[in-house]
């Protein structure tokens, strides 16, 4: 029986070497620095983590964790707590029980203050080399309504096709009823596109977003407005679009992810939960 790829994340532990130099920093200290790191995908996880050869890790800054999580990371992982100055990050690093990954130490992305690929800081999570974000200019007729009120209408959308995510329609602000949108304090991070800011419409919180300054290699969506398909009534070329069933169907998550910064993953970012 054929299996749809997007609904069948592998159950096995997977890894792939990366040619990039990867560094993980905490409180100004470099805990890992390697040109031989690997990307590791855990069972049913869409987002990978970085693991480093033991020789490239500051093991003097790691101590055995007092509260290891027995079932995490495939089970039977060995955990360490990272200590740098006054900063303590419990269970920040671990070794998988899988023998194929012996000799490598993985780090929790959110436990570190800073990650670098070569000499550039990267955000959100490690980039998946098999994840694509494509944007295409289109003349499709897109209408966005909420509770019977027209929020946007455009015949010049930029459509973003991203692995594992619903289609997203980014619209010029001239085609959006901006007076009906209210800015919020929400900020989210996409590892591929950048930092997004949000608007609410009536009682619908964070129902639209924009990337004012996308990452340099992001698609051409700077300043365009995108609405949460899951929360609005979207019509494309006169046909009502189904509201996709995703983790954001019941509203955008409010829990922050990553370093307690208040920056989290949004409805335009690949996630595991």
174 or 265: which carries more pLDDT confidence?
174
* Cα–Cα separations (whole angstroms), residue 6 to 22, 61, 100, 115, 243: 28, 39, 26, 28, 17
CA 84 to chain centre: 27
pLDDT at residue 248 above 80?
A: no
Q: pLDDT, tens digit, for every residue of 151-189?
A: 999 999 999 999 888 999 999 999 999 999 999 999 999
Q: pLDDT, tens digit, for every residue of 195-225?
A: 999 999 999 999 999 999 999 999 999 999 9
Phi-psi region of 146 (alpha: psi -120 to 50; beta: other; left: phi over 0): beta
pLDDT at residue 252 above 50?
A: no
Confidence band (pLDDT; 50, 70, 90) for 18?
very high
For the record, the structure tokens of 227 come out as: 């609405």
Report the candidate in 166, 195, 171 with the shortest Cα–Cα distance to residue 181.
171
56 phi and psi, to 5 degrees? -100, 10
Which DSSP letter does residue 252 get? -
For the record, the structure tokens of 107 come out as: 């780090």
Q: Who contacts 67 (Cβ-Cβ below 8 Å, separation ≥6)? A: 90, 91
Query: How far is it, in rounded angstroms, from Cα 50 to Cα 159?
Result: 31
Alpha helices in 8-156 (DSSP H): none
Domains present along the chain, CATH in parentheses: 12-122 (2.170.150.40), 133-264 (2.170.150.40)
For the record, the structure tokens of 252 come out as: 């955008």
Confidence band (pLDDT; 50, 70, 90) for 251?
low
Average pLDDT over all residues of the chain: 90
Q: Who contacts 123 (Cβ-Cβ below 8 Å, separation ≥6)? A: 115, 189, 191, 194, 195
Q: What is the pLDDT of residue 261?
A: 30
For the record, the structure tokens of 220 come out as: 């051409």
Confidence band (pLDDT; 50, 70, 90) for 5?
confident
CA 104 to chain centre: 24
pLDDT at residue 45 above 90?
A: no
């Amino acid at each position: 029986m054929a299996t749809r790829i997007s609904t069948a994340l592998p159950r096995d532990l997977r890894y792939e070497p990366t040619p990039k130099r990867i560094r993980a920093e905490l409180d100004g200290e470099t805990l890992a620095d390697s040109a031989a790191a690997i990307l590791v995908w855990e069972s049913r996880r869409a987002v990978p983590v970085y693991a480093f050869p033991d020789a490239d890790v500051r093991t003097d800054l790691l101590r055995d964790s007092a509260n290891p999580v027995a079932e995490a990371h495939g089970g039977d992982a060995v955990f360490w707590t990272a200590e740098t100055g006054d900063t303590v990050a419990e269970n920040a690093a671990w070794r998988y029980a899988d023998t194929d990954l012996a000799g490598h130490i993985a780090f929790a992305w959110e436990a570190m203050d800073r990650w670098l690929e070569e000499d550039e800081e990267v955000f959100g999570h490690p980039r998946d080399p098999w994840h694509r974000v494509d944007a295409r200019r289109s003349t499709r007729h897109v209408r966005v309504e909420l509770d019977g009120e027209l929020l946007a209408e455009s015949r010049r959308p930029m459509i973003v096709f991203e692995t594992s995510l619903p289609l997203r329609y980014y619209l010029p602000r001239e085609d959006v009823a901006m007076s009906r949108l209210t800015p919020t304090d929400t900020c989210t991070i996409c590892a591929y596109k950048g930092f997004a800011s949000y608007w609410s419409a009536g009682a619908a919180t964070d129902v639209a977003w924009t990337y004012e300054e996308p990452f340099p290699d992001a698609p051409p969506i700077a300043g365009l407005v995108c609405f949460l398909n899951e929360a609005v009534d979207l019509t494309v070329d006169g046909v009502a679009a189904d509201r996709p069933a995703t983790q954001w169907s019941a509203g955008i998550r409010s829990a922050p992810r990553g370093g307690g910064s208040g920056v989290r993953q949004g409805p335009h970012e690949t996630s595991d939960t």
